[in-house]
Amino acid sequence: QSVLTQPPSASGTPGQRVTISCSGSSSNIGSNTVNWYQQLPGTAPKLLIYSNNQRPSGVPDRFSGSKSGTSASLAISGLQSEDEADYYCAAWDDSSWMFGGGTKLTVL
Amino acid sequence: EVQLVQSGAEVKKPGESLKISCKGSGYSFTSYWIGWVRQMPGKGLEWMGIIYPGDSDTRYSPSFQGQVTISADKSISTAYLQWSSLKASDTAMYYCARPLDHYYDRRGPPGYWGQGTLVTVSS
């Protein structure tokens, strides 16, 4: 059971906007920044968003992040078929990184 | 270009020992923490621990303390994850990861990842 709670699944059609939530507590999201990762099948996780809303170089601006209190969200606009993947939130908690359980995004 | 290259897949029997590696290149290996992440089959990501190769300061997630050993050899820019006695439940993909550039603290967001090492433990 993960410390950070994500919905197990999400879906959308091409072009749609989809959001994925991540709920934590005062010891993780409430007092630290949030990162988001995308994991395509059979590949290593890729950092999509760091420090709540910053995109590493090369990540399209279709991906955006936000945080409020002890919750965070990842939004994907203009959904594309290649966005079908697992998405994980992560936050520092006391002395280690904590990950959410992951959300499987299906593009219908 | 920053790269983390991990050792190849392993198939082991329960009770055997194992050491897998993660070689860093394209940056100052002693300046950034390197962490290890477990992903069991069909499951999510779990943070195992982290090491600072500069002085070998090592921290473990409570769930993995005493179960594995993390080490590093800065002379060859390589971090290691080892088990003294493997169990079937250690079957998983293991990733090493390093914070983004300019994040020198262990809380820096893991932005560079190795390709993963698949460990299979079966009798």
Per-residue pLDDT of chain B (123 residues; tens, 9 = 90+): 999 999 999 999 999 999 999 999 999 999 999 999 999 999 999 999 999 999 999 999 999 999 999 999 999 999 999 999 999 999 999 999 999 988 888 888 899 999 999 999 999
Size of interface A-B (CB pairs under 8 A): 52
The whole-number pLDDT of residue B107 equals 86
Any A CB within 8 A of B114 CB: yes
The DSSP 8-state label assigned to residue B88 in this structure reads G
Backbone angles phi, psi at A50, to 5 degrees: -130, 165
The whole-number pLDDT of residue B105 equals 87
Cα–Cα dist B103/A81, whole Å: 33
**In this complex, do B44 and A100 lie within 8 Å of one another by their Cβ atoms?**
yes
Nearest CA in chain B to A104: B44
Backbone angles phi, psi at A83, to 5 degrees: -80, -5
**In this complex, do B47 and A102 lie within 8 Å of one another by their Cβ atoms?**
no
The whole-number pLDDT of residue A73 equals 98
Nearest CB to B59; choose among A44, A90, A95: A95
Backbone angles phi, psi at B31, to 5 degrees: -100, -10
Contacts of residue A40, defined as CB under 8 A and 6 or more positions apart, other chains included, come to A46, A85
Interface-testing mutation among A5, A96, A104, with chain B (most B C-beta atoms within 10 A)? A96
* pLDDT surpasses 90 at A95: no
Cα–Cα dist B63/B31, whole Å: 26
The whole-number pLDDT of residue B101 equals 87
Nearest CA in chain B to A43: B115
The whole-number pLDDT of residue B102 equals 86
- Minimal CA–CA distance to B92: which of B29, B25, B46? B46
Nearest CB to B100; choose among A44, A56, A95: A56
Cα–Cα dist A61/A55, whole Å: 8
The whole-number pLDDT of residue A37 equals 98
The whole-number pLDDT of residue B20 equals 98
The whole-number pLDDT of residue A29 equals 96
Over residues A73-94, mean pLDDT: 96
Give the pLDDT confidence of A34-71 residue by residue, as tens digits.
999 999 999 999 999 999 999 999 999 999 999 999 99
Query: ∠A91-B4-B27 over CA atoms, to 5°?
Result: 95
> Which B residues 13-72 touch A at CB under 8 Å?
35, 37, 44-47, 49-50, 59, 61-62
Give the pLDDT confidence of A1-43 residue by residue, as tens digits.
678 999 999 999 999 999 999 999 999 999 999 999 999 999 9
